[in-house]
Copies of this chain bind each other. A is one copy, B any other.
């Protein structure tokens, strides 16, 4: 049960070549005679030699490992992002160190330190918001950091997102067109930049275009999860809203179920639009009409972006905006 015993040196001795040559064939360096290469490969197979990535990392100063900071693997939105990241990472032969941050400020910082200590070649950061402590970590990082599904208020890190503001505005407009006057806006923490400065503004843009006064009583703040959406349902019902736009699928599932359980008929008496179009959106009954966004692609593109950064390539665009759309399902009667 003790680790790795056959080293590059053993292979070299057995194949009667130098370590350098073995290293060359292992790394696919062209400057090796075909004959030598075969001989070395034969010995590698015979001995069951497996290169030690740690030694390689130390010598080359590249670990072919990237760090991925995720608030919670268990949240489908982030899991889907992670999937996109992982697939592209695998394509480029990078491994992933996954670190749960629990959306805790201190854990985020600690996790970044761990990752940096492990000498990852780059980092993809996911989360609901960014604070100064974590921005400091980004600065301390001697490797590139890309954001997936997260906007940086300070615009310092490259990122991949959709246009949350106009997506929200479009969806709200759909509800407005359907005749709604009192539309609830439901999101996570309103101090969070993306909610406060993008999603909520989109909602307000739409109201303004329809000359409807913004009413704070129709704005509901929760905790990004199912439970919190479920609990909000009662207040939403009592707010005399006739429709709601929810910034996140897990909350939306909570809202629709909470409303249904409270005797409200969706979509007849109340219409709901959610934002992520993740798996849960089609599991609820009625199914959730949703802004559609390419979650997997956001992760994938962020990872692709990171590979470029790690190769010191210039980025054409620093903040990539992917297209969004709308899926009309059961939780709305006739939107869009």
Residue numbers of A with Cβ under 8 A of B are 1-5, 48, 50-55, 57-58, 61, 63, 65, 68, 72-74, 76, 79-80, 82-83, 86-87, 90, 95-100, 113-114, 116-119, 140, 142-144, 226, 253, 257, 260, 279-280, 282-285, 312
Contact A61 B283 (CB under 8 A): no
Q: How many Å lie between the Cα of A57 and that of B61 in the bound state?
A: 14
Contact (A73, B63) CB under 8 Å given A57-B54, A142-B4, A143-B3: no
Tell me, in angstroms, the Cα distance from A95 to B74 when the chains sit together.
18
Query: Is the pair B117, A53 in contact by a Cβ cutoff of 8 Å?
Result: yes
B283 x A65 contact (CB < 8 A) = no
The answer to whether B143 touches A54, judged by C-beta atoms less than 8 angstroms apart, is no
Complex CA–CA separation, A82 to B171 (angstroms): 35
Say which residue of B80, B90, B226 sits within 8 Å of A74 (CB atoms). Answer: B80
Residue numbers in B under 8 Å from A260 (CB-CB): 285
Question: Given contacts A72-B83, A74-B79, A79-B79, are A1 and B97 in contact (CB under 8 A)?
Answer: no
Q: Is the interface of A mostly helix, strand, loop or mixed?
A: mixed
Q: Which of B50, B74, B116 contacts A117 (CB 8 A)?
A: B50
Given A79-B73, A117-B52, is A2 in contact with B283 using a C-beta cutoff of 8 Å? no
Instruction: Assess A140 versus B82: contact at CB under 8 Å? Given A58-B54, A97-B96.
Output: no
Please give, as numbers and ranges, the residues of chain B lying within 8 Å of A48 by CB-CB distance.
140
Pair B86/A119 contact, Cβ less than 8 Å: no
Residues of B within 8 A of A257 (CB): 283, 285
Excluding A3-B143, A53-B117, A257-B283, 13 further A-B contacts by CB distance (< 8 Å) are: A1-B143, A51-B117, A52-B58, A53-B119, A55-B58, A58-B58, A65-B118, A68-B98, A73-B82, A87-B100, A95-B114, A96-B99, A226-B283
CB distance from A306 to the nearest CB of B (A): 12
Q: When the two chains form their complex, are residues A279 and B226 in contact, meaning their CB atoms are under 8 A apart?
A: yes
Q: A58 to chain B: which residues have CB within 8 Å?
A: 52, 54-55, 58
Residues on B with C-beta less than 8 A from A72 are: 83
Instruction: Give the residues in chain B near A73, CB-CB below 8 Å.
Output: 73, 79, 82-83, 86
Residues of B within 8 A of A86 (CB): 73, 98, 100
